[in-house]
Amino acid sequence: AEHQHARYNPLRDDWVLVSAHRVKRPWQGQLEKPPPEDVARWDPHNPLCPGATRANGEVNPQYEGTFIFPNDFPALQPDAPEPGDSDHPLFRAAAARGVCKVMCFHPWSDLTLPLMSLAEIRAVIDAWAELVAELGVSYPWVQIFENKGAMMGCSNPHPHCQVWASSFLPNEARLEDRTQRQHLSQHGMPMLLEYAEQEARRKERLVVENADWLVVVPYWATWPYQTLLLPRRHVCRLQDLRDSERDSLASIMRRLLIKYDNLFEVSFPYSMGWHGAPTGPYLEEDCGHWQLHAHYYPPLLRSATVRKFMVGYEMLAQAQRDLTPEQAAERLRSLPEVHYKQRSK
């Protein structure tokens, strides 16, 4: 805990430098603005609200639960043309097609997942699984991700995520496919299933757990309060989850996100996303090396206004963190599971 060392990340086949003593250094750098506490429940100018008009002129329905619609500014489109042939191996291009969707979790803009009911979170999980199953028929990769908070690039204060389906396996997917395949071949057990069993036994990086799931600050975490959400059972894709596992997932997600908000008593920013076995043509292949999991990457380090910057050494050499995963897990684990906004009432 007091001496710098490097830790290996078997999921990404890279290393992270752990320098726990650096968190003690004085900070005179940039301070972030805390997120606003007075978000309007409904705003006609917020394009994600029920009844609001979006940029393309379409009017949202008066939805009361989840609401899914095509992204008005998609990064991927299904009919993009083929790029021209390369005249040199250093100048290669490949086709990139797909669809991008936006999914609103709830009609109210002043709610986030940790403040939603278990039934409302369960509805989100069901919608995620349905989208992966639907888009996965045509596309090999379906990426669900949520950018929460302006600090993580969220442009609309409304509970929502995005779903991008692509005609190719993105870099992170290809990397995790390779490392998990190698681990199963060498050790005879899916990597993240074995890892979950080890963390459940060791407990030093455990944040929350229940009968079906556990959340840990991974041994190789890069971001200060990064977590990994893992099922205890071998599950390849979201749509493979049993009914009871979806209920327990809603519960453990809310418990984790309440702890995140309670850490600095602020609506905690993060980027999160689900990784599961590829789809499309891979549905006919053996993907037993895959284990479903979700990554949470929050940027805050010392307080609601001091973030971790991934610059300099991190960009030019390798990732570096300023407190140990064990310290981060202990701090998160010790936090109450009643949201600070509800305690004050």
Residue numbers annotated as active site: 160
DSSP 53: B
**162 in a known ligand binding site:** yes
Nearest residue to 205 via CA among 328, 45, 310: 328
**176 in a known ligand binding site:** yes
Reduce the DSSP state of residue 91 to 3 states and report it: coil
**109 in a known ligand binding site:** no
As to burial, measured by CB atoms within 10 angstroms (0-12 exposed, 13-18 middle, 19+ buried), residue 138 is middle
CB neighbours of residue 241 within 10 Å? 21
Asked whether the beta carbons of 116 and 108 are under 8 A apart, the reply is no
Asked whether the beta carbons of 314 and 322 are under 8 A apart, the reply is no
**309 in a known ligand binding site:** yes
Alpha-carbon distance of 127 to 123, in angstroms, equals 6
**329 in a known ligand binding site:** no
**264 in a known ligand binding site:** no
Reduce the DSSP state of residue 128 to 3 states and report it: helix
**342 in a known ligand binding site:** no
Alpha-carbon distance of 179 to 229, in angstroms, equals 18
**147 in a known ligand binding site:** yes
Q: Which residues contact 201 (CB under 8 A, 6 or more apart)?
A: none
Q: Which residues contact 53 (CB under 8 A, 6 or more apart)?
A: 44, 47, 59, 60
Asked whether the beta carbons of 103 and 158 are under 8 A apart, the reply is no
**233 in a known ligand binding site:** no
**295 in a known ligand binding site:** yes
**24 in a known ligand binding site:** yes
Residues β-bridged to residue 142: 165
**104 in a known ligand binding site:** no
**21 in a known ligand binding site:** no
**71 in a known ligand binding site:** yes
Nearest residue to 295 via CA among 6, 4, 1, 9: 9
**33 in a known ligand binding site:** no
Reduce the DSSP state of residue 143 to 3 states and report it: strand
Which two structure tokens, joined as six digits, stand for 47? Answer: 């394009």
**339 in a known ligand binding site:** no
Binding-site positions for UDP-alpha-D-glucose read 22-25, 55, 71-72, 147, 153-155, 162, 308-309, 313-314, 320
Binding-site positions for Fe cation read 176, 275, 293, 295
